[in-house]
Amino acid sequence: MRLYMTAGSPYARIVRVEAIELGLADRIEEVPATLRDPNSAVLAVSPLGRVPCLVTDDGIAISDTRSIAEYLDRLHVGPRFVPNGGPDLWQERAFEALAMGFLDGCIFYGRELGRPADTRSPAIFDGEVARAKRCLDHFETIAASIPQTATMGPVTLASALAYYDRHDTGDDWRTGRPALAAWHAAMMARPSFAATAPAPKA
């Protein structure tokens, strides 16, 4: 299998962490790709030009993070990375959706932060700042109940927070959120997260 990815993509990091946690990393060749580039390697396998994109041994190109996670889940025997049953299924799925929505918002926030201040869209920027703070405050209130496990929801949230850390927002999200900060530190200590950490920004 080949996984088209960028080191800084939190979406790619989710499935890279999963591959390590499930013992599948040695079956996957990571192929560095570029984004918004007409010469990107990923365009040879997917017209979307997005990462992650997994090309299976059967030649199927899967360009959606959750779909890739579900595919990898079927290649091993053991605890599921993507919950698919049990009494807490919908609670787990609801948390996963919340974490993914937070990550999507962080991406929009990061893109606006990357623009010169005088070219940012105030509506988008202010809306994403407000959304990020609402989500962070909510995660703080439930931090004690968020498992420190290598499953889709927690890994998505941990990846999102790590991505958030890479942007100079002018506000440390850990301030006033000690429970969430402690939870995140524990997740970052997992070898799978250490192995997939992008290089620090210059």
Distance of CA 122 to the CA centre of its chain: 26
Share of the chain above pLDDT 70, in %: 99
Lowest mean pLDDT among 56-60, 81-85, 157-161, 184-188: 81-85
Per residue in 78-127, pLDDT (tens digit) is: 899 999 888 999 999 999 999 999 999 999 888 888 889 889 888 888 89
Domain identity same for 172 and 94: yes
Decide which of 23, 40, 73 is a domain's last residue. 73
Taking the model in full, what pTM does it have? 0.95
Paired tokens of 110: 């990061």
Q: The CATH number of the domain where 157 resides is what?
A: 1.20.1050.10
The answer to whether residue 115 is domain-embedded is: yes
The answer to whether residue 200 is domain-embedded is: no
Domain identity same for 29 and 59: yes
Q: Which positions ≥6 away from 123 have C-beta within 8 Å?
A: none
Domain identity same for 121 and 164: yes
pLDDT recorded at residue 202 = 57
Euclidean distance between CA atoms 175 and 193, whole angstroms: 23
Per residue in 140-176, pLDDT (tens digit) is: 999 999 999 999 999 999 999 999 999 888 889 999 9
Q: The CATH number of the domain where 8 resides is what?
A: 3.40.30.10
Domain identity same for 60 and 111: no
The answer to whether residue 156 is domain-embedded is: yes
The answer to whether residue 185 is domain-embedded is: yes
- Structural domain of residue 108, as residue ranges? 89-195
Decide which of 14, 47, 73 is a domain's last residue. 73
How many other C-beta atoms can be found within 10 angstroms of the C-beta atom of residue 26? 8
How many other C-beta atoms can be found within 10 angstroms of the C-beta atom of residue 94? 12
The answer to whether the beta carbons of residues 18 and 1 sit under 8 Å apart is no
